[in-house]
Chain A
Amino acid sequence: MTAMGRNAAIEVRDLRKAWGDQAAVDDISFTAPAGEFTVLLGPSGCGKSTTLRLIAGLEDATSGTVMIGGETVTHKAPNERQIAMVFQSYALFPHLNVAENILFGLKVRGVPAAERAERLQRTAALLGLDTLLDRRPSQISGGQQQRVALGRAIIAEKPICLMDEPLSNLDAKLRHEMRIELKSLQRKLGITMVYVTHDQVEAIAMADRIVVLNGGRIEQCADPRTLYDCPASVFVARFIGTPPMNILTLAPCPGGLAIAGDATALVAGDLKGASYYQLGVRPEDISISETGGVSATVEQVEYLGSDLLVDCRIAGQPLVMRASTQNAVRPGQSVRLTWSKQRQHLFNGDTGARIDAHDGISLSPSAESGGSDP
């Protein structure tokens, strides 16, 4: 290995990439710790792929720095950055067979033939490609092509691997298998992984750390559990989880804030600084009760097999809840909905930023005394 060492952390500081006055990546900073699995997550056009390409050196940063293993590499060529990369389209050379594709980089770098053969043998065995080595990319399946692309990245034995939506061209079943395989491979080889995806399920399942991007900026950078439990903004709250978190507009009421149009106070305390506030509750945290809580009307019930998705309205605002199939709710029915105070989130309506409970503000509403909180 090089002087850089096997473990190389990636640090991105104030990174910016603009085409004209259109910024694709707008002053972002984050660290991908050595040996960890970092996912860049966001909707299409959020700048996640551009960020990855900036780390790889395939794009030139407008400003800011990229550091790998403590060394500034912002203006270095891709091959001087100790990285391997897997592309969304795999970027296999169509005229070369599997072995030649995997060995391409080693040949370019002039690795001796004996060592090449030995490393090829090892990589092929690791990925189960032994029997496919003399096939062309067009003669193997999508999943196998994906493995070849992976093999080309692994055989380089670089400490960092960058992946740009590598599983998006696979079918659901294969995607699930590859997800598990990728994660275990990353652990086994101790690679620093930076992985781009728009699929929040993929991100949550694989990541040690997720960077959520929106409009070229970082919304939140945290581990999957924190992201799910304490979303930093309405955007993150809506982006993580299926179905997404319910966001309800609040209005002042005697004793605090209630869902606009409803009278039950849900947030108590003195709130200042925003023109309005929003409340977030996840569908899986809501339950139906006989008394207390907030009254709602059932609009539609969707049967999913394992559970039900119930579309409701509270004073005109839509809300989805996940209910057990034991529940016999019917469209048109009036129900009372409750949720734990720990599981509700308060957001600034103007900025979308999270407001944590602190002195003077209590997420334990007066409604709780009505018995809504178990």
Chain B
Amino acid sequence: MTHRREWIYAWLLLSPALVLLFAFTHIPAISTIWDSFFSTPRGIRPSKFVGLENYEKLLMDDTFWQVFWNSIWYAVVTIPVSVALALLMAIWVDGKLSGRSFVRLAYFAPTVLPLIAVANIWMFFYTPGFGLIDQISGALGYPSVNWLGNPELALGSIMVVSIWKEAGFFMIFYLAALQSIPPVLREAAAIEGASRWTFFRRVTFPLLMPTTLFVSINAVINSFRMVDHVFVMTEGGPNNASSLLLFYIYETAFKFWDTAYASTLTVVLLVLLSVIALGQFLLLDKRVHYR
């Protein structure tokens, strides 16, 4: 009797969260997949089943491929760089350092700022002629550079902004993990004559693996999810040089109103993210030691 009641209670307690999850996550996800097999309804023409036509169109779409590779490049560069930078900064501010709290605050500040504000700050840095970078390089005798207007530089410039923002956020996780490593381990290693590098390689880094896994999954998600700075700084330009997958989905859905094609693009993004997350878990989980 009590068993049955507990079963009911369990479902009752779970139901609010389940309802929200289904209504706002699972149903939209499934309907997106469903929509990707239909044509976009326009005017008097209702949507009709088109099978894989949208996917065929996708494979032929040069803009899609450019945006796809942009996104991959963006992830491949920003994730390792921001994670490595976060680890370096965390090790630095974990040490004995005067004004340590100030440095920690300074590193964390970009995380607190909204990405829109960050993007605006960097717009000022990048502005050709009187932007901060050009003023400094001009003073040193270098020519002016249009960081956001040059198709070869725009994506790189965007990457720098997101690394700047993300590294401070990840640093906090690394710092917390570093501070949970008992100092006595360092002393035990010192007695054995382990150098700082050996200690880092054999003890600190392995003990940080759970944090590295967590941070890198977050970094992957963020690298595909955050496009605010693209909106503010380049709008994907010039000539789609700095457009990312999510930004392209937004453009397709809400500028060109091609909702079926946008659904198709979304499915691609979902598959991409799932594959990467799964790969990370399978690859890293074996090497992660949880305490």
Contact = CB atoms under 8 A, between A and B. Distances in A.
Interface in A34-69: 56, 58
A272 B275 CA distance: 90
Interface residues of B, number: 19
B190 interface: yes
A84 interface: yes
A79 B289 contact: no
Interface stretch (B4-12, B74-82, B84-92, B192-200): B192-200
Interface string B171-213: 0000000000010110111111110001000110011010000
Interface of B: 182, 184-185, 187-194, 198, 202-203, 206-207, 209, 289, 291
Nearest to A94: B291
A79 B193 contact: yes
B185 A93 contact: yes
What does DSSP make chain B's interface, helix, strand, loop or mixed?
helix
A79 B182 contact: no
A87 interface: yes
Interface of A: 56, 58, 77-79, 83-85, 87, 89, 91, 93-95, 104-105, 108-109, 136, 138, 152, 156
Contact of A58 (B190, B192, B193, B289): B190
Given A94-B291, A109-B192, A152-B188, 18 more contacts: A56-B191, A77-B190, A79-B190, A79-B192, A84-B191, A85-B187, A87-B187, A89-B182, A91-B184, A91-B185, A91-B188, A95-B203, A95-B209, A105-B192, A108-B193, A136-B289, A138-B291, A156-B192
Nearest to B187: A58
Given A58-B187, A85-B188, A87-B184, A93 B203 contact: yes
Nearest to A137: B291
A94 B207 contact: yes
Contacts of B182: 89, 91
A84 B184 CA distance: 14
Given A89-B182, A91-B182, A94-B289, A104 B190 contact: no
Question: Which of A77, A78, A95 has the most chain B CB atoms closer than 10 A to its own CB?
Answer: A95
Interface pairs A-B: 5 shortest CB-CB: A79-B193, A105-B192, A95-B289, A91-B188, A91-B184
Contacts of B193: 77-79, 105, 108-109
A91 B207 CA distance: 14
B205 to A, nearest CB: 10
A174 B91 CA distance: 40
Contacts of A109: 192-193
Given A94-B289, A94-B291, A85 B203 contact: no
